[in-house]
Amino acid sequence: MPFSFDGFLKRQVLAVQEFAILLGRAVGNAFSRPRYVADTLVQMDVIGVGALSVVVLTGFFTGGSLALQTYRTLSTFGETALIAQVVAIAVVREFGPVVTALMVAGRSSSGIASELGSMLVSEQVDAMRALGTDPLRKLVTPRLYATVIMLPLLTILSDFSGMLGGYFIARYTVHLTTVSYWTTAYQSLTLQDVTQGLLKPFFFGVVISLVGCYQGLTTGGGTEGVGRSTTQAVVVASVLILVLDFFISKFLIGIGFF
């Protein structure tokens, strides 16, 4: 079948439209019953607690690697004491939120797409509709709110793990004292830094959950299509996280937030 640019463009526009409708309906479901609180708690455990070890481990070694590279540069100018400041600001502003979101996207967005895609292929979603249950309210909304709630908490743990990884490098490579490192790290962070670092995960959580849900609920082609949806969910979510991170940072700089 020959490639058609018009057809490709129309499919992308339609996908954006369907994604926006999915977002609007998922958010609107919170203001009416039933709310499926139990399902939301289950998803919080699966998405949040299940990713805890991955996020902590990734954050720790990200902070350690950042400290090593920073030490290499700062030692040239004899300012190795600034390593705590650099690690704290970089981790809280950028590396913590972005790396955490990418890890959760790789784990949860793919899992959501695979689960919902399998349900769609096996006609479980159609069975829900036949029984009078709204699939979007039952399947999408709990995953959306679970991700939006848990991702900022995971980001906080990742930030601390990153600064802890930087501490070990600063302590045993740069030979900074414990008091000097943590005091400098604490004093270097401002309210704007912390706010920016905790604002981004809310947007990332929406992307991670809804991309996974959208890819899962639009699965076609049987079990082979489930694999494609899973792969697309990870790729699209990861790209959107990086793009969204840029525009959020640009917006905050533009309004003079930091």
Mean pLDDT per 10-residue interval, the chain, length 258 residues = 67 81 82 84 90 92 90 76 88 92 91 88 85 85 92 94 92 86 89 89 93 87 81 92 92 74
Selection from 160, 155, 148 nearest residue 204 by Cα: 148
- Count of C-beta atoms within a 10 Å radius of residue 252: 17
What per-residue confidence (pLDDT) applies to 151?
Answer: 94
Per the CB < 8 A criterion, the answer to whether 192 and 88 are in contact is no
Segments in 79-218 forming alpha helices (H): 83-90, 96-104, 110-121, 124-130, 135, 141-172, 178-188, 191-217
Amino acid type, 113 = A
Per the CB < 8 A criterion, the answer to whether 47 and 106 are in contact is no
Structure tokens at 173: 């490579």
pTM for this model (two decimals): 0.89
What per-residue confidence (pLDDT) applies to 209?
Answer: 92
- The answer, yes or no, to whether the previous bond of 34 is cis (omega within 30 of 0) is yes
Per the CB < 8 A criterion, the answer to whether 51 and 112 are in contact is no
What per-residue confidence (pLDDT) applies to 204?
Answer: 94
What per-residue confidence (pLDDT) applies to 254?
Answer: 77
